[in-house]
Amino acid sequence: MNYWLMKSEPDECSIDDLADAPGQTVPWVGVRNYQARNFMRDAMQVGDGVLFYHSSCPEPGIAGFAEVASSAYPDETQFDPDSPYHDAKARREEPRWLHVDVKLVRKTRLLPLPEMRSDPALVTMRTLQPGNRLSITPVSPVEWERIAELLG
């Protein structure tokens, strides 16, 4: 079992949107970074723990727990000319972009980014490293436990 932090812009899909989605599950479409794609394709397994992170918003931070609910499968938005995620170079015979489904486990209080940064147990988090921009990053069991502790 692995743990992950996945960033979502609340304008696009917030923790409340996830809670309101059918089956409290959303397809994590729109990842257009190879490293993040490879995490989903090669390392994620159904049941993996997910920290649902709100990014690019007034109060960035962890908004709840979720879990990986499917293995990776082709992202349809890459073939849709009307989608902001359209990729003109993607071919159906060999899809470039994949995604998993993510299911809500539990909404929590917001754990704000500054609180994460100030916690000595969390300084190792990949998402907190300078210059990191990956929308999906691995989380260690120790980091996961600490966050579970902070969020009760």
The answer to whether the CB of 81 falls within 8 A of the CB of 87 is no
Of residues 67, 52, 18, the one with CA closest to residue 147: 52
Nearer to DNA, 57 or 148 (CB): 57
- CB 56 to DNA: min, Å: 4
- CB 6 to DNA: min, Å: 10
Write the single-letter amino acid at 127: T
Of residues 29, 69, 24, the one with CA closest to residue 50: 69
CB count within 10 Å of CB 128 equals 16
Nearer to DNA, 1 or 80 (CB): 80
Write the single-letter amino acid at 99: H
Report the alpha-carbon distance of residue 79 to residue 69 in Å, rounded.
23
Sites of contact with DNA (CB under 7 A): 7, 9, 32-35, 55-57, 60, 89, 113-114, 117, 130-135
- CB 22 to DNA: min, Å: 25
Nearer to DNA, 55 or 83 (CB): 55
Nearer to DNA, 33 or 71 (CB): 33
- CB 33 to DNA: min, Å: 5
